Structure 1
Amino acid sequence: MASECCLRGFQWDGTPIGKESTLANNKAYVVGSNADVAIMVIPDLFGWTFVNERLLSDYYAKEVNATVYMPDFFGGVVMPTEIVRDYSRFGELDLDKFHKDNSKEVRWPELLACVQALRSQYKCIGIIGYCYGGWSNFRLGSKEYSPRLVECISTAHPTWLTKEEIDNIGVPVQILAPEVDPAFTPELKAYANAYFPGVEHAFATRGNPDDGVEKRAMIRGKNAQVAWMKEWLHG
């Protein structure tokens, strides 16, 4: 379940350069122009309009040389980003309703349809998922699909991920796990991978650029994801 840690953080400065379009039946932020290689970004609770994740999508499009899609998987509901700057407003959110409206069962058909739409157009597909996107990119990389849906996945501070979903992975997987994260527990971290010391849940999408430790972790994280996508989508 999402908690306070899934909403804390900082909103970054910058102007995204992509455009708004559609993927399957979902609105999507799109950036890049590679006709063969695509990356689908599955955003955290702040959704497809959040400037931080649009800026990250711009970065992946340029550095990986890919067309990047970040669809809306929350039915048009957008978390107010003012909460990132003014966390005292956390109590205004009805997270129980958000969980119900965006459960795995509710959103899985849209996630699958979007990747199938990409599969019909691109030769190589990678998935990057943050928070909520953690469980979903594991599902999309499941070994139950033959031929496989995607070439590789990468996730940062995943939420709702289970051991069963980890066990069922059928493609190369990268996990960027923070040291402090009630959503991705020490037990799951030990089960899955090593972690980034000294940082907390959401460091990859809402870290503080004025904090030296967080800034280094953000840079390491996005560069690691770029290298991972280059290896499996262009290698």
Structure 2
Amino acid sequence: MSECCLRGFRWEAQPSGHETKLADNNCYVTGSNRKVAVMIIHDLYGWKFPNTRLLADHYAEEVDATVYVPDFFGGEELPLDILHEPTRWHELNLPAFILRQSKEIRAPEIVECAKILRSTHQRTAAVGFCYGGWGVFRLGERGQNLVDCISTAHPSFLEETEIDKVGVPVQILAPEVDPMFTPELKAYSNEVIPGLGVAYNYQYFPGLEHAFAVRGNPANAGERMGMKRAKDSVVHWLKQWLADQ
């Protein structure tokens, strides 16, 4: 696990959605389209992280979708006050935290939430940031019929076998500097996915680092432009594949 998964900035705005339940999971919900659903699988800062909820609000408005951000950490949270304090990162037992959020533990919850959305909406998609990247690939696996498309920015814990199995249109937003989505995984994705018979949108963000799309610094011109480009790209991708077919 790299320190890049902790680094970032908290954006200044107030989310406009509400909290409810999806399956047995607490969930942030925003938007009101009964036909179109987007599920966001959050990063290490969890379902309450304001930046993630603000992106959900943008997607809900700009895509015209109901956007769900379930809690996939079983009520655990990393303290937001350490976001800007690298000297305190040693206080976290991150390996133990990650072990409690393992794929074996969380994948069934992710799938169950997706099944519910699939049964209640005509079109569904999944977007994953960092930790959530592997999750959207699981939902997009061939034969699952859980989502109509997936998108991920700087995925963590993604494995080649999960890339091999993707069977829906897939978008990857890849920063130049990323210890989690390595150059080898970037190259593997770009070699394998075009041969899988699915639409593929790979976007490269030179000069930017892991977590930029959800935790970039708005005061930095390059990061601000990258965040906007990432947000607009996801919106365009979702609108393309969630429209009535």
CA distance in 1, matches of 2:208, 2:82: 20
**How far apart are 1:163 and its partner, in Å?**
1.1
| Alignment match, 1:230 | 239
1:74-223 correspondence to structure 2 within 5 Å: 74-145=73-144, 148-193=145-190, 194-223=203-232
CA distance in 2, matches of 1:84, 1:11: 8
Task: Tell which deviates more after alignment, 193-202 or 25-34.
Answer: 193-202
CA distance in 2, matches of 1:228, 1:144: 21
- Runs of 4 or more above 4 Å deviation: none
For 1:36, the aligned partner's letter is K
**How far apart are 1:85 and its partner, in Å?**
2.0
Deviations 1:123-162 (A, max 9, x none): 00010000111001001000032xx110000000000101
**How far apart are 1:120 and its partner, in Å?**
1.1
Secondary structure of 1:14's counterpart equals coil
**How far apart are 1:89 and its partner, in Å?**
1.3
Which 5+ residue runs of structure 2 have no aligned equivalent?
191-202
Secondary structure of 2:83's counterpart equals helix
**How far apart are 1:167 and its partner, in Å?**
1.1
**How far apart are 1:3 and its partner, in Å?**
1.9
**How far apart are 1:195 and its partner, in Å?**
2.0
For 2:149, the aligned partner's letter is C
Deviations 1:12-52 (A, max 9, x none): 10000000001011000000000100000000000000000
Secondary structure of 1:60's counterpart equals helix
**How far apart are 1:79 and its partner, in Å?**
0.7
Secondary structure of 2:120's counterpart equals coil
Is 1:13 the counterpart of 2:22 in the alignment? no
Contact preservation (8 Å) 1:189, 1:195: no
**How far apart are 1:111 and its partner, in Å?**
0.4
CA distance in 1, matches of 2:75, 2:14: 22
Q: Percent identity?
A: 57
Which 5+ residue runs of structure 1 have no aligned equivalent?
none
Contact preservation (8 Å) 1:144, 1:168: no
Deviations 1:146-196 (A, max 9, x none): xx1100000000001011111100000000011000000001111224521
CA distance in 2, matches of 1:45, 1:3: 12
| Alignment match, 1:53 | 52
| Alignment match, 1:43 | 42
Task: Tell which deviates more after alignment, 52-61 or 192-201.
Answer: 192-201
For 2:183, the aligned partner's letter is P
- The count of aligned residue pairs is 232
